[in-house]
Amino acid sequence: MAETSKAEPVRTFSDLVSYFESGNKPREKWRIGAEHEKFAFHLDTLKRPAYDGPDGIEAMLTGLQRFGWTPYREQGKLIALLRNGASVTLEPGGQFELSGAPLETIHDICDETGQHLAEVKAVASELGLGFLGVGFSPLWTREETPVMPKGRYNIMRSYMPKKGKLGLDMMLRTCTVQANLDYADEADMVLKFRVSLALQPLATALFANSPFIEGKPSGFLSARANVWTDTDPDRTGMLDFVFEDGFGFERYARYALDVPMYFVKRDVPENGGYIDASGQDFKAFLKGELPALPGELPTMDDWADHLTTLFPEVRLKKYLEMRGADAGPWSRLCALPALWAGLLYDQTALEAAWDLVKGWTSADHNTLRHMAAKTGLKGDIAGRPVKNWTMDMLEIAKGGLKRRNRLSGGMVDETGYLGELFEIADSGLTPADRLLEKYNGVWQGDIRKLYAQEAY
């Protein structure tokens, strides 16, 4: 029997909507959060490390504690580290994730990311491990991928194959880089959501960096982005309703309510405290009729947990999450939050970006999403080359960063972080295109060269 939650229960739909309203912040309190994932591998065999063992993921987490990280455990297993508003967590296949603290500038984010990577490298070098930033595991099968001991992942692994063919690949074999940004009020959220969702496929194309599956070209420039097209249609996609009249906090809350649940977290000893509610209805939970917890009402923590199980290209919590980019090298980890801050945190840029995309149709959005995964910057959408739309987006972002005028200690603004993205867009060749050139050229089809030359 699960221990009943002692938190205040949620009783009405308005309570759920208020969760998003509580994210409203004045401009002076806006921050940027950056997240990135990376694959660990054994330097000698290139295999993904298991959780246990002297050179496993647990050993990595243990080693990082020397830098002032506080351990977080689930059923006695070390599964995360916390420090100054940031965290290091594990994805299901042992992908190592830094979720950065909310920071004011891209300069701050780059400093935080650089410190983290230096710490990771110091510990990894002692354990014979390396780390690789690409969007999809380039060599190993699902079966060859170790699974991390986190309770929610056990539930997801069981449920995922019921909803799509590639959900387990999403869990075990993908890595992303992400940016989280604030909103002032509902109207500001709506405009930012529409702009970022429409432009997300262009970011997918710019950052496409996963052309390999199990040692061979996959036919996609972003195998990671393709995975999301067949993971779970209930909780993924471009959310056409975001562009409809009347969209706002209430409409997103109704969408979230319609998404089947995964779990409820309670103080129980089994499965890390996660109770299997997969496929069950949060609306029934509001009535005290959830089969997994009959007679119990949800709390706001339950609602917050449920929102983390939605996986659209842009996700709303108490902030907006931009989720459409492949992991990559150190330089592009700073470029992704710079792109979105330039587009969304300057009003002139935000309005210009909306003018750029407001004529796109639902068909355009969904076509571009699939094109970005397959062909990157090649092809046309809405009567223009994808490359040209992307250059326009970057110019708008650059103007936004210039007007933000957030200077480093060296009195340099944030526009320089977009430099690599301009080079990619101008060439029309994504990072994945460049990797394929090497694979078919100097690497002579040897995927091991990727690990030797592209690792952190």
Q: Note whether residue 337 is domain-resident.
A: yes
Q: Tell me if residue 324 falls in helix, strand or coil.
A: strand
Tens of pLDDT along 216-269? Answer: 999 999 999 999 999 999 999 999 999 999 999 999 999 999 999 999 999 888
- pLDDT value, residue 176: 98
| CA 274 to each of CA 74, 269, 288, 349, 452: distance values in angstroms, whole numbers, following the listed order | 10, 9, 18, 43, 39
pLDDT-derived band of residue 7, with 50, 70 and 90 as boundaries? confident
**Bridging pattern class, strands 86-90 and 96-99:** antiparallel
Find out whether 106 and 334 touch, Cβ atoms under 8 Å.
yes
pLDDT of residue 1: 35
pLDDT at 395 over 50: yes
The answer to whether position 403 is within a domain reads yes
Q: What's the burial of 25, exposed, middle or buried (CB within 10 Å: 0-12/13-18/19+)?
A: middle
Whether 177 has a pLDDT exceeding 50, the answer reads: yes
Residues 324 and 340: their CA atoms lie apart, in Å, by: 12
* Residue at 205 is within a domain: yes
Which tens digit of pLDDT belongs to each residue from 23-66? 999 999 999 999 999 999 999 999 999 999 999 999 999 999 99
pLDDT at residue number 270: 84
Number of domains in the chain: 1
Q: Which pLDDT tens digit goes with each residue over 403-419? A: 999 999 889 999 999 99
Please give the backbone phi and psi of residue 305, each rounded to the nearest 5 degrees, phi first: -60, -45
Determine, yes or no, domain membership for 446. yes
pLDDT tens figures, 340-350? 999 999 999 99
Q: Which of 63, 212, 77, 255 is nearest to 152 (CA)?
A: 77
Instruction: Say whether pLDDT at 6 is over 80.
Output: no
Cβ–Cβ < 8 Å for 93, 157 = no
Give per-residue pLDDT as tens, 129-160.
999 999 999 999 999 999 999 999 999 999 99
Q: Which residue has the tokens 């009535």?
A: 287
Pairing state between β 129-132 and 314-316: unpaired
442 pLDDT more than 90: yes
Q: What is the CATH number of the domain that holds 46?
A: 3.30.590.20
Residue 152 lies in a domain: yes
pLDDT value of position 261: 98
What is the end-to-end Cα distance of the chain in Å, rounded?
A: 47
- Per-residue pLDDT, 2: 44
Query: What domain range is 418 assigned to?
Result: 31-229+320-454
According to DSSP, residue 3 is labeled P
In a domain, 375, yes or no: yes
Percent of the chain's residues with pLDDT above 70: 99
Please give the DSSP secondary-structure letter assigned to residue 88: E
Residue-averaged pLDDT of the chain: 96
In a domain, 258, yes or no: no
- Please state, in angstroms and rounded to a whole number, the distance separating the CA atoms of residues 149 and 93: 10
Name the helix (H) or strand (E) containing 70: strand 70-74
What is the structure's pLDDT at 169? 97
89 DSSP β-pair partners? 80, 97
Enter the DSSP assignment of 361.
-
- Dump pLDDT digits (tens) for 425-439: 999 999 999 999 999
Average pLDDT over every residue of 72-81? 94
- φ, ψ of residue 215 to 5 degrees: the values are 85, 0
Band the pLDDT of 3: cuts 50, 70, 90: very low
What does the pLDDT read at residue 5? 53
Q: Does some domain include residue 267?
A: no
Neighbours of 54 (CB within 10 A): 8
